[in-house]
Amino acid sequence: MDKSLCFYFQVHQPDRLRLYRFFDIGNDSQYFDEFANKTILKRVAERCYLPMNSLMLELIDKYKGEFKIAYSISGVALEQFEKYAPEVLESFKKLAATKCVEFLAETYSHSLASLASEKEFKAQVKAHAAAIKKHFGVTPKAFRNTELIYSDQIGAQVADMGYNVMLTEGAKHILGWKSPNYLYTNAINPKMKLLLKNFNLSDDIAFRFSDRSNPNWPLTSDKYAQWLNEACVNDEVINLFMDYETFGEHQRHSTGIFEFMRALPGAVLENTNLKFRTPSEVAQKHQPVAPLHVPFAISWADEERDTSAWIGNELQNEAFHKLYSMEKQVMATKDEALISDYRKLQESDHFYYMCTKFFSDGAVHKYFNPYDTPYEAFINYMNAFSDFQLRVDKATAAKKRKSSK
Amino acid sequence: MKVLMFGWEFPPHIAGGLGTACHGLTKGLAKHDVEILFVMPSASGDEDQSAVKIVNASDVPFTQTWSDMQTFLNKVDFLRVSSNLVPYIDPQLYSEYGSEIKRSEYEQFKVKYGAKYKFSGKYGANLMEEVASYAMVAATIASENTFDVIHAHDWLTYAAGIAAKRISGKPLVIHVHATSFDRGSADNIDTRVFEIERMGMLEADKVITVSNLTRNIVINKYGIDPSKVITVHNAVDFNEFQQVDVRRGVEDKIVTFLGRITFQKGPEYFIEAAAKVLKRMPNARFVMAGNGDLMNRSIRRVAKLGIADRFHFTGFLRGADVKKMFSYSDVYVMPSVSEPFGISPLEAMKSNVPTIISKQSGVAEVLKYAIKVDFWDIDAMADAMYGLLAYPGLSEMSIRCGVEEVNALKWENAALKIKDVYSMAIAGE
């Protein structure tokens, strides 16, 4: 029986906040650092999105349907492409036209809504599916949650929305002796199939590729294909999930990461019995082996593989709680600008910046963080949020006056 | 009467309240015909010299004559600030080492002779070295000028004051604006600073303290004879004071803490009281302006209490932003655990902001109408905040009386008391 190799890339760019001071509260409701967001997006586009998209297109053409990949592009990233780098959006559209690329569903603003409010979660997934349809002409069928956050509950909610494939982390503390290299199902709704990330093989590319202290450095495509072969002697499917920015941004062009990817499909197709498949194809091709019980939420972040990178300390808990306690009031205003800002304030990145786990995963956290300390991140966020609260209160009061007239 | 005064800073380039106090005080003294030679380690040339003649210690070459050197070094030998502390050494080795030190001291002296020392005048890593060099230069200045009395402000200049006294034989008055016990908790003070402070106090003919609170510390913690310790409360100079108009973005009432976020300033009591007020008055807002080593802990506590959308941090504020912050405020709180005096409540009152101060502050001794609470009594603090926010009658009275009281605190009056202290010191009373 032939086996499956499934590549999925996460594409996301946050809306970073500007330095929002106490004196700005009530005076200035422009929260985001347009300049930084534009500059960073353009830089990443040049280093990663454009060269990598053109490489993927080249490989798809070369292997005539044998090379397939999947993307999840957050809604806010799509907005930034439209605004600052339309050429990136065009190149994704070209990839979509090859039919060898699957686009996954996620929350529009890359948020943690699944951990706070089912209603808001579903609304954001719907908004994201509409955006994918608008740009790429396809309706996503497989789902992946922000940072691969998953629990039995969340899986069942996603199944309710009509999805029957979902991606998550092959977390050790959940799997125990079990292998991530099979298809599993949700513990509540067995129709929902689960693809689990093989984090060892994924991280070999995403984190360890250029690490010269790694005894396996340098990693070549042939060596890697050999590992893939060994990994699936008895198993069926290998899921390689990673940030798209791995290519060219986290692992610079000079590390040879592009050459590695250029040679990989050939090495895999020649030397292994793995076939490239997209998540939906994997779910169709293979039989689930067992239900997976995940009572508490897991994710792909940090050593703990839980949600503590976003809601682990008192700063994050406070910001998170204050943000979601406003949901009803914000939605009742029906004010588009307010709802748009509300969703942007929900981006998980804001909470990630407030993480205090300096030591164990500090390197990764530091890389992604525009602030010097989590405390600065918290203060800045709460200042902007306080202004947002004022606007919502004002809008609510105005609405009340109207209806009483 | 002519005074040789040693300071560390002078407006416009100031890092703390010391420079401001020196400026006000010297202007007050000038009105009483006191002539002042004001020495500072690093002057920029744009200081206000209307009341004083500034001497820049960085410009003074070290020119004790060679033959005087032996006597000079004997007179100022206290300057070797614990430089000869060597651990694990037996007595014989130590005496050899001691004579070695003597030799190297002569060598160093030769190197320094005729040279100028470039002071930073800041509070940096070389502070101890600067303090010692400042005293060396002070000796030169003392031998080249005539004056009736020496006046030294805070521990940084005590060594300079002592050197000047030993060279000139004139009486020394030291002015205690703060002590080591205000800078750290009682069991965690800098012992090197403590030693210098105590040496200054013992050597001085008179010790001026900025409050009775500080006077008690000087008497009890440093063991100084009470008869030579005199309190002269600070005053405040608001001649150039201008209130700024700001566009307030928020309509809610704002309660403000402004200062360094350190143990001494009692930020945690402000936070706990804020949480209590917010339970009764959910639309109040609190601001903690400043930074310091307890800032992160304070932020965590605010988050933990779940009041972070009502409790804001601004970070460190400068000049115009401080005034802006006062204009934003409806209540000002200074919950200091230990405050020798405390100028900021006076600025708040002058800006028409009702003020709550801790009983553990020197300024509490001169203000009748400000609301006073024990720093640890968060219930009383919360009551006071709530009262000033909720009852307009209370806040109106607090504003009116506050401005009157502040206007009555004049440097001119304080300077007269200081002049009396000079006279006593000169007369040897």
A358 in reach of chain B (CB within 8 A): no
Least Cα distance to A146 among A299, A14, A359, A318 occurs for: A299
CA-nearest residue to A354 within chain B is B300
Residues A313/A355, Cβ–Cβ less than 8 Å: yes
**B209 pLDDT higher than 90:** yes
Q: Phi and psi for A119 in degrees, rounded to 5? A: -65, -50
**A76 pLDDT higher than 50:** yes
Predicted local confidence at residue B80, as pLDDT: 45
Least CB-CB distance to A314: which of B249, B303, B312? Answer: B303
**A258 pLDDT higher than 80:** yes
Return d(Cα B204, Cα B110) in angstroms, integer. Answer: 30
Which residues does residue A143 pair with via DSSP β-bridges, in sequence order? A105, A166
- In which band, very low, low, confident or very high, does the pLDDT at B218 lie, cut at 50, 70 and 90? very high
Return d(Cα B255, Cα B243) in angstroms, integer. Answer: 18
Return d(Cα A239, Cα A9) in angstroms, integer. Answer: 11
What ipTM does the predicted assembly reach? 0.86
Within 8 A of A372 by CB-CB distance, chain B residues are: none
Other Cβ atoms within 10 Å of B217 Cβ, number:
23
Return d(Cα B154, Cα B38) in angstroms, integer. Answer: 14
Least CB-CB distance to B308: which of A24, A313, A322? Answer: A322
pTM (2 decimals)? Answer: 0.86
- Mean residue pLDDT across chain A: 94
Cβ of B299 within 8 Å of Cβ of A315? The answer is yes
Least CB-CB distance to A389: which of B246, B309, B321? Answer: B309
Mean pLDDT (whole number) for A361-389: 83
Residues A168/A196, Cβ–Cβ less than 8 Å: yes
Least CB-CB distance to A314: which of B304, B309, B315? Answer: B304
Cβ of A379 within 8 Å of Cβ of B300? The answer is no
Least CB-CB distance to A318: which of B246, B303, B328? Answer: B303
Predicted local confidence at residue A2, as pLDDT: 84
CA angle, corner B67, sides to B61 and B71, nearest 5? 90
Return d(Cα A132, Cα A92) in angstroms, integer. Answer: 11
**B188 pLDDT higher than 90:** no
Predicted local confidence at residue B224, as pLDDT: 96
Mean pLDDT (whole number) for A209-216: 91
B86 in reach of chain A (CB within 8 A): no
Q: Within the 218-277 window of chain B, which residues sit less than 8 Å (CB to CB) from chain A?
A: 246-251
Return d(Cα A379, Cα A404) in angstroms, integer. Answer: 37
Q: How far is B330 from chain A (nearest CA, A)?
A: 15
Of B58-62, B146-150, B238-242, B402-406, minimum mean pLDDT range:
B238-242
A315 in reach of chain B (CB within 8 A): yes
Cβ of A22 within 8 Å of Cβ of B312? The answer is yes
CA-nearest residue to A20 within chain B is B314
**B279 pLDDT higher than 80:** yes
Predicted local confidence at residue A99, as pLDDT: 94
| A186 DSSP assignment | E
**B86 pLDDT higher than 50:** no
CATH class belonging to A3-292? alpha beta
Number of H-type helices and E-type strands within chain B: 15, 13
pLDDT tens digits, B325-340: 999 999 999 999 989 9
Of A242-246, A278-282, B95-99, B206-210, minimum mean pLDDT range:
B95-99
Within 8 A of A315 by CB-CB distance, chain B residues are: 299-300, 303, 308
Predicted local confidence at residue B84, as pLDDT: 38
Domains of chain A by residue range: 3-292, 314-404
Residues counted in chain A:
405
Of A77-86, A250-259, A284-293, B10-19, minimum mean pLDDT range:
B10-19
Q: How large is the angle between the packed helices A199-206 and A221-231, nearest 10 degrees? A: 170
B312 in reach of chain A (CB within 8 A): yes
Return d(Cα B414, Cα B199) in angstroms, integer. Answer: 26
Residues A31/A346, Cβ–Cβ less than 8 Å: no
* Residues of A noted as catalytic: 147
Cβ of A375 within 8 Å of Cβ of B287? The answer is no
Contacts (Cβ under 8 Å, ≥6 apart) of B234: B21, B24, B210, B341, B343, B362, B363, B409, B414
Cβ of A318 within 8 Å of Cβ of B247? The answer is no
B62 in reach of chain A (CB within 8 A): no
**B97 pLDDT higher than 80:** no
- Select the residue from B278, B294, B300 to test the A interface by mutation, using most A Cβ atoms within 10 A: B300
For strands A288-292 and A274-276, give the pairing. Answer: unpaired
pLDDT > 70: percent of chain A = 97
Return d(Cα B381, Cα B333) in angstroms, integer. Answer: 9
Residue with tokens 């992946």: A144
pLDDT tens digits, B41-70: 888 888 888 888 888 888 877 665 544 555
CA-nearest residue to A315 within chain B is B303
Within 8 A of A319 by CB-CB distance, chain B residues are: 303, 308
**B93 pLDDT higher than 60:** no
Return d(Cα B203, Cα B258) in angstroms, integer. Answer: 36
CA-nearest residue to A385 within chain B is B309
> Domain B254-408 in CATH: superfamily?
Glycogen Phosphorylase B; (3.40.50.2000)
Cβ of B315 within 8 Å of Cβ of A379? The answer is yes
Domains of chain B by residue range: 2-235+412-427, 254-408
Return d(Cα B54, Cα A215) in angstroms, integer. Answer: 68
Distance of CA B101 to the CA centre of its chain: 35
Mean pLDDT (whole number) for B236-257: 83
Predicted local confidence at residue B144, as pLDDT: 86
Residues A123/A161, Cβ–Cβ less than 8 Å: no
- In which band, very low, low, confident or very high, does the pLDDT at B82 lie, cut at 50, 70 and 90? very low
For strands B35-40 and B53-56, give the pairing. Answer: parallel
Contacts (Cβ under 8 Å, ≥6 apart) of A197: A148, A167, A168, A169, A170, A180, A239, A240, A241, A300
- Select the residue from B248, B299, B314, B321 to test the A interface by mutation, using most A Cβ atoms within 10 A: B299
CATH class belonging to B2-235+412-427? alpha beta
| B361 DSSP assignment | B
Alpha helices in A211-325 (DSSP H): 221-231, 257-271, 279-285, 314-324
Within 8 A of A379 by CB-CB distance, chain B residues are: 299, 312-313, 315
Mean pLDDT (whole number) for A270-280: 95
Within 8 A of A22 by CB-CB distance, chain B residues are: 287, 289, 312-314
Contacts (Cβ under 8 Å, ≥6 apart) of A143: A104, A105, A106, A125, A158, A161, A163, A165, A166, A167
Predicted local confidence at residue B369, as pLDDT: 85
Task: Report cis status (omega within 30 of 0) of the bond before B12.
Answer: yes
Q: How far is B313 from chain A (nearest CA, A)?
A: 6
Return d(Cα A376, Cα B427) in angstroms, integer. Answer: 58
User: What separation in angstroms does the CA of A64 have from each of A100, A258, A277?
Assistant: 9, 20, 13
Least CB-CB distance to B250: which of A21, A319, A390? Answer: A390
- Mean residue pLDDT across chain B: 86
Task: Report cis status (omega within 30 of 0) of the bond before A218.
Answer: yes
Cβ of B303 within 8 Å of Cβ of A315? The answer is yes
User: What separation in angstroms does the CA of B18 have from each of A253, B13, B155, B204, B343?
Assistant: 56, 11, 11, 20, 10
Q: What is the Cβ-side half-sphere exposure of residue B359, based on CA atoms within 13 angstroms?
A: 9
- Select the residue from B248, B309, B316, B328 to test the A interface by mutation, using most A Cβ atoms within 10 A: B309
Residues B168/B148, Cβ–Cβ less than 8 Å: no
CA-nearest residue to B313 within chain A is A379
Within 8 A of B253 by CB-CB distance, chain A residues are: none
pLDDT tens digits, A25-40: 999 999 999 999 999 9
Q: How far is A345 from chain B (nearest CA, A)?
A: 14
Least Cα distance to B355 among B224, B226, B258, B236 occurs for: B258
Mean pLDDT (whole number) for B198-227: 95
A322 in reach of chain B (CB within 8 A): yes
Structure tokens at A37: 């967001």
Of A129-143, A188-202, B188-202, B331-345, minimum mean pLDDT range:
B188-202
Predicted local confidence at residue B414, as pLDDT: 94
